[in-house]
Amino acid sequence: MSSFMERDDQDLTGWLEAEADGRLDDADAFFSGLLARSVPVLSPPFGFATAIVSRAVALRPAPWPWWIRALTAASVVLAGIPLAWLQGLNPFDLVAATGTRLVPLVADLASVMQRVASLAASIWGVSEVLGQAVLAACLTGPGPLIIVVNLALSFVGFLGLRRLLTPPKECW
């Protein structure tokens, strides 16, 4: 135990001498060693973060009703109109400029939607013609017989696999 005390005394005198001589790097080294041995390391107690988060969640305020949010937005807008007028901006010109910019965008969007709808209608028409052709091909010649035989084979295979893969009675 005396070696720790001697080391602390040596670091303390070394730190003070280095400070007095103007050797700041040595003084910092002596002081950091002295501080590391003298001051215990602090750590938060177990469950500290969980307690903080649970209290923060419990203290979360309830959301404002919609009418208070709408009233706040309207008051911000109404307070901004005189401020804009004082700065030389005419709010009605801003609204009109926004409208003249939005109208062409809406017209372009409508044109794009019309093209998408016509493309979807043409795809639907082609699919209808193809479906009628497939139906006609399936209902003529050996097509219906092949489909019925295929369905019968798949049903028999299903029954066979069901019998082979049933779990044993002790699993029920």
Number of domains in the chain: 2
The answer to whether residue 137 is domain-embedded is yes
The answer to whether residue 67 is domain-embedded is no
Q: Quick one: pLDDT at residue 111?
A: 94
pLDDT in tens, 93-119: 777 777 788 888 899 999 999 999 999
The answer to whether residue 75 is domain-embedded is no
pLDDT in tens, 83-99: 777 777 776 777 777 77
User: How far is 129 from 150, CA to CA, in rounded Å?
Assistant: 26
The answer to whether residue 46 is domain-embedded is no
Show the DSSP H helices in 22-58 as ranges.
24-38, 48-58
Q: Which domain holds residue 22?
A: 1-40
Q: Is the pLDDT of residue 7 over 70?
A: no
The answer to whether residue 19 is domain-embedded is yes
Q: Quick one: pLDDT at residue 158?
A: 92
The answer to whether residue 17 is domain-embedded is yes
pLDDT in tens, 60-83: 777 888 898 899 989 888 888 777
Q: Quick one: pLDDT at residue 6?
A: 64
The answer to whether residue 136 is domain-embedded is yes
The answer to whether residue 73 is domain-embedded is no
Residue 112 per-residue DSSP state: H
CA distances to 37, 51, 78, 103 from 44, in Å = 20, 11, 50, 60
Q: Quick one: pLDDT at residue 114?
A: 95
Q: Is the pLDDT of residue 4 over 60?
A: no
Average pLDDT score over the chain: 83
Single-letter amino acid, residue 160:
G
Written as six digits, the tokens of 35 are: 């501080």
Q: Quick one: pLDDT at residue 76?
A: 86
